Structure formats: structure tokens, C-alpha cells
Chain A
Amino acid sequence: MLSDQIQEKINRELKKYPADQKQSAVMAALRFVQDEKGWISNDDMADVAAFLDMPHMAVYEVATFYHMYNLRPMGKHMLTVCTNLSCQLMGANETMDYLKQKLGIGLGEVTADGKFGLREGECMGACVDAPLFTINNKRMCGHLNAEKIDQILAELDSGKSGGQP
């Protein structure tokens, strides 16, 4: 079941579209689910489909098409490192290696305590800040180096700041 909060958010979104085009809100709806739960399960997709009067498969198509929807749990703080060209030139590979070593996980994995997840992303249009990662697709941290990464991870670990900017 979609929580009341999610339903309310979707309903607000639906106001933007004609009444017979509810499916227009599917991307937003999936985002709301992921914001709340961290990932989108098949059951959630079925619920979104029912809510928007769409075929299950149509929701599945959207959810699997876009990289930023998590189809499995990716940890409380999901770090997405950009590995496209500009970032690579500026040391994205080193950033990635450092994170892997520091967190003890590989790409696409989640730490045992469920706190951190690691994945790679495509150019975020912020090459000027390279190398960089985002936290839960929401907060972007740029000009990364070991020291800065340590600091961010410690901050996240202590729970002082969440994914929100």
C-alpha cells in the first residue's frame, strides 16, 4: 500500500495533468516512493499502477528505464559517483577506489549495516565541480578528495545530516 503521504503527493501532482492522463504522474509517483522507502519494490510498482490506472508493465517499463530509480535497497545513504569523462579526468576513478576501500564494498553494493550504498552515475552537468558524487540523488558533493570524503562520511554516519541538502 502507498502511504497516505505518498498518495497525497501524487494527488497534488495529478492536478498538473488532464484527468484522463493520469499516467503522466508516474515518474513523480515513483520518485515519491523512493524518497520514502529508499527503493521501489515490484509491489510498489503495482500499487502505483493501480493508483494511476496504468498497466503494471507500463510502470515497470518506466521504473527500469531510468537509472536513478532503485529497484533494490541501496542503503540509507546512496552515493552515486559520476564516472563520465570530465570527472574521470579529474580523478573520479580514484574517488571510486577510495570509497570502495573505505566502505569495504564494491560497485552496486551496500554496507552490511545498510548505511551506505555505492553506484556510478552519468554526467550530472556539474563537471565544474568534478570529481563528485550525489547522496540519495538529492545532495551533490563536489571537489572531492580523501579528506573531504572522510568528513562527509563521518557526518552521514553520525546521522547529523541526511541526504537532504
Chain B
Amino acid sequence: MINIEIDGKKIATESGSTVIEAAHEAGIYIPHFCYHKKLSIAANCRMCLVEVEKAPKPLPACATPVAEGMKVHTNSAQAVKAQKGVMEFLLVNHPLDCPICDQGGECELQDLAVGYGASASRYQEEKRVVLPKDIGPLVSAEEMSRCINCTRCVRFGQEIGGQMELGQAFRGEHAEIMSFLGEQVDSELSGNMIDLCPVGALTSKPFRYTARSWELSRRRSVSPHDGMGSNLAVQVKDNRVMRVLPLENEEINECWLSDKDRFSYEALSAPERLTRPMVRQDGKWQEVSWQVALEYVANGLSQISGGAGAAHIGALATPHSTLEELYLLQKLLRGIGSSNVDFRLRQSDFSMDGKQAGVPWLGMPLAEINNADRFLLVGSFLRKDHPLLASRVRQAVKHGAQANVVHSADDDLLMHVANKAIVAPDAMVDLLAQILKALATEKQASVDAAVQGVSVGSEAAAIAASLAQGKNVAVLLGNFAQQHPQAAQLQLLAQQIATLAGGKFGFLGEAANSVGGYLAQAVPGAAGLNAGAMLAAPRKAYLLLNTEVELDCHDPQQAQAAMYAADMVVALSAYKHHASDYADVLLPIAPFTETSGTFINTEGRVQSFKGTVKPLGEARPAWKVLRVLGNLLKLPGFDYDDSESVRDEALGGVAVAGKLNNGLSGITLQLPSAASSGLQRVSDVPIYAADAVVRRAASLQATHDAAVPRAVMHGEELKKLNLPPGSEVKLSQGAGSVRLNVAADDRLPLGVVRVAAGHAATAQLGAMFGTIVVEATSGSGA
């Protein structure tokens, strides 16, 4: 510890910290622009000048390390003179356009100018003009004359986002922030630059000019998207969500948000919102009252359970639903005598059901990811599936951790990857077996007999060698691995690898409630059919909660066939969607901002939130809808006063931590015998196609990440098929086919076609994994 004195206050602080850090820790404010606690030190704005005794001139507090006995004055005549001087310089070129600036009211420069600026300018000459830039649909760079060149945005890209899309070109008077050749900023974390920009140079395109910061009320909420459960400050005006900002939580999202979390709010007031209950009568949709709609549903369910039997009723929910919704859904189903309920819609291997020791989870707190020194990332589109978790891995790698990747695609993770094995999906199990065997050799440990036979390739050996040196190993299964048809085998192998390496094993939760779904018991158990089975063997009635089967299910073809064949489909949805073709009842439910509820994130953290605005139109929170449905069906135990009592019942008063367990017992390792023939499908779920809300967020849909999917293959495969890149092909699985343009990506393994799932353009295809036929269409090919 180092003892210093700031403004007469004695402070003991860590050696190596800077004056500004020590001051802020002690509650002493030092004005600053370029300094940010999560970014490297640039010391280019000079706003933080302070007087340090015995130093010949004012020093920048952000770049001055503390030293024993140092005496700092942040408020002395010398310090204030320096700060005022800097402010005058900053304002020399800054436009005086606060009244029409979107940042007005929340501008760091405006605030500090009030404190340190003079009331009039001595500068008479012309101010410099920096031309506006178009850097994409999310971040506006229209008023770059306001930029004070603090380079926070640039450093964010380099250090946190992992890609330097913005930079400071030219110099001195001519310096300006821009992208190379005016390219669009594509980072999935780009919105954070808006928060970081201390002035109104970078602003939010969707939010611009819609409200002033002081008109907004701020309510806390939790992101419904990925498994992280980022904390949100939802800002509301006139009962409408105007924008979403991060709510700082060091253990989860730190001070960041992914663009998905930040900009998806646009979908809350999208024109596709379903606002009235609707029933199909004689083939035509009629708006009806809640009473009529719910009675229709209750009668329908009673008829089917009384006739064909309750086992003919199934319920499918997405893991973006709240704990309360999922809990009541399964309680309702079980109440009428069916256990066919599931939220794991994109999963295809259910062989672990009944063999799990507890609820599958991350296996560690999120914050611990930063401390790992070796990663094995199995089957994960990490950056797009878990943008902020990826940034934690990136930070760890920056500090010397080694990332090892086993996957069927090789998208740039924007971090150094030590070793990777990119193989077709049907070779993944074998690859993990190789790693396990190699690791056992490294560790001189005995190993499962089933893997003795595999021959270890160089990639697996390199990964094993990397893991063997780790002191803090994290083996993580991504969405792709969890959706894989041999998911249980992958898990078993990955777990053994983690155990041998003395590390931790975990699942990267796909959605906000991937852990919560289990705790809500929204799984079939031994008595019911899982998501795959209840579509493979069609039911007579389906309840869909937040689910668009053609986009959310592992096999959309099969799912749609089941819907069209059913006698009754009830869709509880916040949006009008494709269900209007096959459903009989559409019930408008509230998205996350219009209901109270709970998400349990991938690390098992229970986060409850309240509604931030009133439900739109006649939409109602789904937990209330299910409660009334329970009452109409005369089921016991459906009299809840509030969502909290639903949550408490769901969690049963037992700490969640005690229920989290990735253990599997009773499954034996079985390595696949022969590789499959033909081209295999590799599916990612594009970042802005993953759930019902983001699919309707207009600005996110205008990004490059939301472009129409293409059929991507290794250049060699394209050559074999005689297909020039860009040509159109027909892709077929089972009875369905779609037409997409092809693209080459030589980082893909041979023998695969990458075709996105979760997108309307591919909804007529079959399972996310398995063989797929590619044919040239007339007019394409050579």
C-alpha cells in the first residue's frame, strides 16, 4: 500500500494505481474525458490536470502513478487554472450547438464546461469542420465536429470489441475519427461507443431526437436475449420504451451491453405486435375478447384431454420466456395430465434426460472466466452467440490465457486462438476423444477404454498439450455443441477432459432462461415427450409460448408439419407471426418490458425484474394468462396474486446454487463408427435471428449481421460442384428446399455447407444437423 494525500485527505492505495483512480476511490472527483476505467490510458485530453507538490507543472491524474508521500491538489489555484485552460482549448473547435445536440443533458463536455468553462469565448477565428460519416444503422457519426478526439471509441474497438474499426486519421488540426474507407462498423458491441463518447459525436441512431435525457424515467430490467442476463436501464417516456442503456454490474455485463441487448427495444413497439386476442373462425381470424379466447382454449384442451387423452397435448416454449411463465406452463400441462412440455427447442439429443445430476449451467461464475488460463471452446459461435462472454474470454486471452477451439466453423473470434481443430459435425465426437486420449497421455492418467482406439491427430495433441499446462482450465460447450445430435457424448468427453485437466466444465447457456427452464421444470421428465419427440410424433394440440416453430425449432420442417396436422394450436406471442397460418388462437402476451418476471442466467443467478411499461393494447403478461387458463380449467393451485409468489413456488425455497450440477451418470461413451456420407449441414443461428424480439428490431435488422443467409462452403467443394461464388443453389433436406446464393469460405471444413437456422429464408429446411443436398439451379453453375 502507498500513502498519499489528495486535497488534504489521507489515502492508502495500491501501488501501481494512478492518481485519478485513488481519487475516485476516495470519492474525490477529478474532471476527465479520455480516461475510462475499462480502457487503456491515452492521456490526450488533459482535462485531469492536477497540482502535485514538488512537481514543476500540473500533471495528468489519469497517467500519473501514485508514489509514497505524494501530495495532490485537485482544486488549488494552479490546478484550476490548468483545468480552465484545457477547457478553453477544448471549446475552441467545439460547436456551440448544445440546443440541437442529442447529447444535451447527458454530455460530459457540457457538464464540465459549466464547471470550468468561461461564459464567453476569446476565440474569434473559424472553427474547424469535420465531415459527417455514415458508419452503419446503429451508431450515428453525423456530427463529428463535436468530437474532442479523446479516442475512447477507438480504444474500445481495439481493447474490448477486439477489432479496430474506428481510428484517428490525419493529425493535429486535421485529426478525425473515421473508419477505413468509410466502411460500416460491424462490431456486435458497437453501441458501447455511444456510451463512451463523452460528447455528442457518436450518438444512437435509433434513439436520436426522440427524447431528451431528462424526460426519461429509468427502470431496471434484465436482458431477455443471451444467457448472460445483462442488467438494463430501460428508459421510458409516455409509457413507451425509448432506449436501453447498461446498468453497471461488474459480475455480469460490467458497464457494457451487446448491441442485441441495447437496440432490441425497437421491436417492443414494432407494428407486428399482437395487441388483441384472436380466434380463427371458419378459416378467418376474428378479434375477440380475452374471455372468449381463453374459454375457447380451455374448452379445446378439455375436449382433447377428455377424448384422445391429455398425452395428445404438448407445449413448446422458448428459453427466452420467464421463469414464472415456464413454471405455470408446465404446471398447467401437468394439471391436465400431460408432461409433454419443453423449452429446449433447438436441442436434438435428449439422451441425457433422466441422467443429469442437476441443472446444466456454466459451471462457474461469469466473472471467473476472466481468470481462466486455458480455454477449450467446443462448438460455439462464441462472438455472435454470447458477445459479452466472448469479450471476457478475450480479456483473459489478452492476459495470457490460451484459447483452444473445436468447432465446425472458424469465424474470427477477434482474439488470438492458440490451437484449433475445425472439423465436420460428425467428426467432433472423435476429435474430443482424441484430445482426451492425448491429455491422458500428457497427464499419465488412465482413460476410458472407449477412447483407446482413436488415433490422435496433431491438432488434438496441440490442444491437449495446451490444456495440460493450465492451472485454471475452462472447458465450455457452446450452443452448437448443445444442439449437436451427439450432444451427450460431447458433454461426456468434454467433462472428462475438464476433470483430467483439473479444470471446470460448463455450458454456455443459449438464452436468458436456459438454466431457469430446468428450474421451472419445463422439461418432460420420464413421463412426457421432449421437444423433439412431441414434434416427431405429432400431437393433437400444441400450446406455443413465445415460440415461432419455423424459426425456433431444431427441425422446422417437422415442426411445421406437426402444427398443420394438429387439431388445435394456441400461440401465446407478443407478435403476429407465421402461426396465423396454422394456429387457431393467438393470445397477445407481454414482452419482457411489460411484465414482471425472473431470468436465471447461465451462471445460475436469479434476477427478477418488474415491468417497465404497461402492456401494449390488450396484451397481458403470460403468467397472468396462464393463471386464468388454470382457473378456467379448474386446476388447483392457480391463485397467485403476483409473479413473486409464482417464482417462490417455482424455486421451492431452495437455493438455486444447490441445484446446479453438470454431472451425468448412466451414459456410456460411444464413439461414432463411420462418418456419414454426403454434405453435412452446419447451422448457426444468426445473432439477430435468435429470438422473437430481435427478429423485429428494425435497426438491428439493417446490420450486416442480419443479411440474408448464404450457403457457405469451402472453395474446393464449390469447385467440385462447379458453382461460382454468388450463384444460386437449391438446398434440400427431406421434402423441403430453399434457394440461396453460395459463398466460399476456405476456413470451413470440407464436406459441409453452412446454412443459418432461425431465419425465414431457411425455414423450409429440415434439421440443423445432418445431410443436405446442394444442386445448381438453372441459370447458375458453369
Binary interface encoding of chain A residues 28-66 relative to chain B, with 1 for a CB under 8 A from any of its CBs, else 0: 000000000000001001100000000111101100110
Asked whether B181 lies within 8 Å of A61 as measured between CB atoms, the reply is no
- Chain A residue contacts of B158, Cβ below 8 A: 55
- Contact in complex: B167, A42 (CB < 8 Å): no
Interface residues of B in 128-186 (CB under 8 A from A): 158, 163-171, 179-181
Judge whether A65 and B181 touch: CB under 8 Å. Answer: no
Contact with B164, one of A42, A45, A46, A57 (Cβ below 8 angstroms): A57
CA distance A65 to B171 in the complex (A): 5
Q: Are A61 and B163 in contact (CB under 8 A)?
A: no
- 11 more A-B contacts (CB under 8 A) besides A42-B180, A57-B180? A42-B181, A46-B180, A55-B163, A55-B165, A55-B167, A55-B180, A56-B180, A56-B181, A57-B166, A64-B170, A65-B169
Main secondary structure of the interface of A (DSSP, over half): helix
Q: Which residue of B lies closest to A54 (CB)?
A: B164
CA separation between A58 and B157, bound complex, in Å?
12
In the assembled complex, the Cα of A58 lies from the Cα of B165 at a distance in Å of 9
Task: Report the separation of the CA atoms of residues A56 and B164 in the bound assembly, to the nearest whole angstrom.
Answer: 8
Specify which of B170, B171, B179 is in contact with A57 (CB 8 Å cutoff). Answer: B179
Where chain B touches its partner, the secondary structure class is mixed
**B residues in contact with A58, CB < 8 Å:** 164, 167
Q: Which residues of B contact A61 (CB under 8 A)?
A: 167-169
* Cβ of A127 to closest chain B Cβ, rounded Å: 22
Which 8 pairs between the two chains have the least Cβ-Cβ distance? A57-B167, A55-B164, A56-B180, A64-B169, A57-B180, A61-B167, A64-B170, A65-B171
Question: Complex Cα distance A65/B169, Å?
Answer: 7
Q: Which single member of B163, B167, B171 contacts A60 (CB below 8 Å)?
A: B167
CA distance A55 to B168 in the complex (A): 13
**Distance A56 CA – B166 CA, assembled complex (angstroms):** 10
- Chain A residues with CB under 8 Å of B166's CB are 57
Question: In the complex the two chains form, is A64's CB within 8 Å of B171's CB?
Answer: yes
Contacts of B168 in A (CB 8 A): 61
Q: Which residues of A are at the interface with B, using a C-beta cutoff of 8 A?
A: 42, 45-46, 55-58, 60-61, 64-65
Report the bound CA distance from A140 to B167 in whole Å: 34
B residues in contact with A60, CB < 8 Å: 167, 169, 180
Complex Cα gap A96–B50 (Å): 46
Instruction: Report A-chain residues with C-beta under 8 Å of the C-beta of B163.
Output: 55
A46: chain B residues at CB < 8 Å are: 180
Please name the residue on chain B nearest to A63 by beta carbon: B169
Residues of B584-613 whose CB lies within 8 A of A: none
Query: What separation, in Å, do the CA atoms of A108 and B180 have in the docked complex?
Result: 23
Question: How far, in angstroms, from A65 to B163 measured CA to CA in the complex?
Answer: 20
A64 and B662 alpha carbons, distance in the complex (Å): 54
Complex: chain B residue closest to A20, CB-CB? B416
Residues of A within 8 A of B167 (CB): 55, 57-58, 60-61
Assembled-state Cα–Cα distance A107/B168 (Å) = 26
Nearest-neighbour CB distance to chain B for A41, whole angstroms, equals: 11
Closest B residue, CB atoms, query A61: B167
Q: How far is the CB of A58 from chain B (nearest CB, A)?
A: 6
A119 to chain B, nearest CB (A): 15
Cα A57 to Cα B158 in complex, Å, equals 11
Most buried by A among B163, B168, B180: B180
| B-side contacts of A45, CB under 8 Å | 180
Closest to B166 in A: A57
Within 8 A of A (CB), among B406-436: none
**From residue 435 to 456 of chain B, which have CB atoms closer than 8 A to chain A?**
none
Distance, CA A58 to CA B179, complexed state (A)? 10
Closest chain-A Cβ to B772's Cβ sits at a distance in Å of 33
Give bound CA distance, A45 to B169, whole Å. Answer: 13
26 A-B pairs with CB atoms under 8 Å apart are A42-B180, A42-B181, A46-B180, A55-B158, A55-B163, A55-B164, A55-B165, A55-B167, A55-B180, A56-B180, A56-B181, A57-B166, A57-B167, A57-B169, A57-B179, A58-B164, A58-B167, A60-B169, A60-B180, A61-B168, A61-B169, A64-B169, A64-B170, A64-B171, A65-B169, A65-B170
- Kindly list chain A residues whose C-beta atoms are within 8 Å of the C-beta of B170: 64-65
Closest to B416 in A: A20
Closest chain-B Cβ to A122's Cβ sits at a distance in Å of: 12
Tell me, in angstroms, the Cα distance from A64 to B168 when the chains sit together.
Answer: 9
Minimum CB–CB distance for B488 against chain A, Å: 40
B165's partner among A42, A57, A65 (CB-CB below 8 A) is A57
Query: How far, in angstroms, from A46 to B179 measured CA to CA in the complex?
Result: 13
Please name all residues of chain A whose beta carbon is closer than 8 Å to the beta carbon of B171 when the two chains form the complex.
64-65
Output the nearest chain B residue to A65 by Cβ-Cβ distance.
B171
Give chain A nearest CB distance to B134 CB in angstroms.
Answer: 16
